[in-house]
Structure 1
Amino acid sequence: MKRVEVELLTDGGNDAVVRMPGRRFPGVVVQGDSLSVLRGEVAEVVEACERGDLDEARDSAGFLLANLDALLARYEAALSEHQIRRPY
């Protein structure tokens, strides 16, 4: 294990925006339990598609998209607050 200092651009929480040493742009640290939930949401979409249940797939995908949109908005707000341009 190696210890390094990172720049913390948001509060900690389950999806902290940080910049690692030597990196131009920040990233998002997602806690393991949150990553598992995200993976589960994707699995729900896939399973609904496999069953041919497009209504459930659409609902699950919409929920997943909303969660990713919120994460992206938090990332973009942190960059804006610290006058860092977006990498995209």
Structure 2
Amino acid sequence: MSEAIKTDVLIIGAGPCGLFAVFELGLLDMKTHLVDILDKIGGQCAELYPEKPIYDIPGIPFVTGQGLTDALMEQIKPFNPTFHLNEMVETIEK
């Protein structure tokens, strides 16, 4: 059993939605930790199709899975999130 994480918000999944949540929560001055079972950031976009074109991201005519991940990482850099990769959430307590 690992040590408990104390944070404002725990995000399960470091894919595009989890990464964008870091941005929105950072604007509210909330500290975030992200946990993902994968060994890298980006979720399915980075893992399954990093070079495949994605056409349905609002405001972006074309981007690859890795390109989207890279852009989101740049966007959240000021908020300094903590990542826990290759890990799985077993319990959550308030």
Please report the TM-score for the alignment, with normalisation by the length of structure 1: 0.35
| Structure with the bigger percentage of helix | 1
Larger Rg: 1
How high is the TM-score relative to the length of structure 2?
0.34
The structure carrying a bigger strand percent of its residues is 2
